[in-house]
Amino acid sequence: MSRPLYADINLQALQHNYHLAQQCAPNAKAIAIVKADAYGHGAVQVAQALVNDAPAFGVATIEEALTLREASIQTPILLLEGFFESSEIELLHEHQLWCSLHSEWQLQMLEACDQEGNLTLWLKVDSGMHRLGFCPDDALAQVIERLKGLKAVGQLGLMTHFARADEADNPYTSRQIELMKALAAQYQLPLCIANSPATMQFPEAQGDWVRPGIMLYGASPLPTGHPVGDQLQTVMTLRSKLISVRELPAGEPIGYGGRFVTPQTPTRIGVVAAGYGDGYPRHAVDGTPVLVNGQRVPLAGRVSMDMLTVDLSDQPNAQPGDDVVLWGEGLDINEVAAACDTISYTLMTGLLPRVPRRYR
Ligand SMILES: *Cc1c(COP(=O)(O)O)cnc(C)c1O
């Protein structure tokens, strides 16, 4: 028998979540974001599961796009940050890749190697994130004119990214939305602005295209209790087993640094096959929830590279071989993330290649 740790990936739940995103934005088309190996779920498998539904996929690098092309995915693929050097421009034409354009240097590279083509370009506007994008001032008109003058360009659209769309009532997001709507009307261009939280809670942000990521993978980016968030289904469950159970007397330190010490009474300690060498966060605190046989037990002691330890005081019958869930079905990844002072995104994308993904 091999090591029992694996990521159990439910592709039906993924499809359900994609359809939910479509229902949230019935007048928009939904680009399925599959960057970072589909948030750790496996980009090829995820794209294959959505290929009949999604009109486009979104990735961060051309390598990610070409991996999908090698797997015979023919759907348009949007490069969310566009190209990084001019040698990629030819590949955009060759592989029918859509390209975000965020900077003057990219525009100059396009102008320098303008060839007859039909590129779909999404002009990124900095509407308030202050990370990437052109300023929404008068100079934008010139950028659009220059793009329209290129032989390489077919379709043009406007995109932006929200800084605070996970907050329910923030005027900052409203301002970003209003600005982009005004630009779309002024230049008569299609609009693509909403990430998952905006797709879920700001119908006015949906425009012509939306870009859901995390919601496809079943983790709500909103505070719990949201009607859409509550309908999301878990896609990834990180499963393992107990590989040792022992009783230790009172006052014994467990693991590196002795961070956890058994209390006044003898304590049953279980060892789980999962560690930071798999992507389980080392900074998880004592008390971080872990499911053993479907019941919550607290993490006890520092996470090691290949193992972690739990306090089984409430599970007197637990045995080696018993089932463990680190996050997923029965244990919301958002809760584990909160205990680790992070977000679901880093747990999912941080799952390392050593962990087998099994699809159902
Ligand atoms: C990652 C990303 C998204 C998806 O964001 P989620 O919060 O996961 O929905 C959308 N747009 C851009 C530009 C991104 O980089």
pLDDT at 355: 98
CB 289 within 8 A of CB 331: yes
Find the catalytic residue in 35, 124, 217, 280. Answer: 35
- With the most atoms of ligand 1 within 8 angstroms of its CB, the residue from 80, 129, 132, 345 to mutate is 80
Find the catalytic residue in 18, 148, 187, 256. Answer: 256
Give the count of beta carbons closer than 10 Å to the beta carbon of residue 14: 25
pLDDT at 264: 86
What atom in ligand 1 is closest to the CA of residue 159? 13
Distance CA 208, CA 245 (A): 55
Distance CA 139, CA 190 (A): 19
State if residue 218 touches ligand 1 by the CB under 6 angstroms criterion.
no
119's CB contacts (< 8 A; 6+ apart) are 92, 93, 98, 99, 152, 153, 154, 155
Q: How far is CA 20 from CA 161, 260, 331, in A?
A: 21, 43, 21
Q: Return the structure tokens found at 278.
A: 């798999």
pLDDT at 179: 97
State if residue 80 touches ligand 1 by the CB under 6 angstroms criterion.
yes
Q: pLDDT of the chain along its 360 residues, tens only?
A: 599 999 999 999 999 999 999 999 999 999 999 999 999 999 999 999 999 999 999 999 999 999 999 999 999 999 999 999 999 999 999 999 999 999 999 999 999 999 999 999 999 999 999 999 999 998 999 999 999 999 999 999 999 999 999 999 899 999 999 999 999 999 999 999 999 999 999 999 999 999 999 999 999 999 878 999 999 999 999 999 999 999 999 999 999 999 999 998 999 999 999 999 999 999 999 999 999 999 999 999 999 999 999 999 999 999 999 999 999 999 999 999 999 999 999 999 999 999 999 999
State if residue 348 touches ligand 1 by the CB under 6 angstroms criterion.
no
pLDDT at 112: 96
State if residue 33 touches ligand 1 by the CB under 6 angstroms criterion.
yes
| Domains, the chain, with CATH or none | 11-231 (3.20.20.10), 236-359 (2.40.37.10)
DSSP letter, residue 55: S
Residue 305 labeled ligand binder: yes
pLDDT at 1: 59
10-13: long-range pairs with CB below 8 Å, 24+: 10/233, 10/234, 10/235, 10/236, 10/237, 10/360, 11/45, 11/46, 11/49, 11/235, 11/359, 11/360, 12/360, 13/218, 13/233, 13/234, 13/235
Distance CA 69, CA 75 (A): 9
35 CA distance to ligand 1 centroid (A)?
9
3-state secondary structure string across 135-172: CCCCHHHHHHHHHHCCCCEEEEEEECCCCCCCCCCCHH
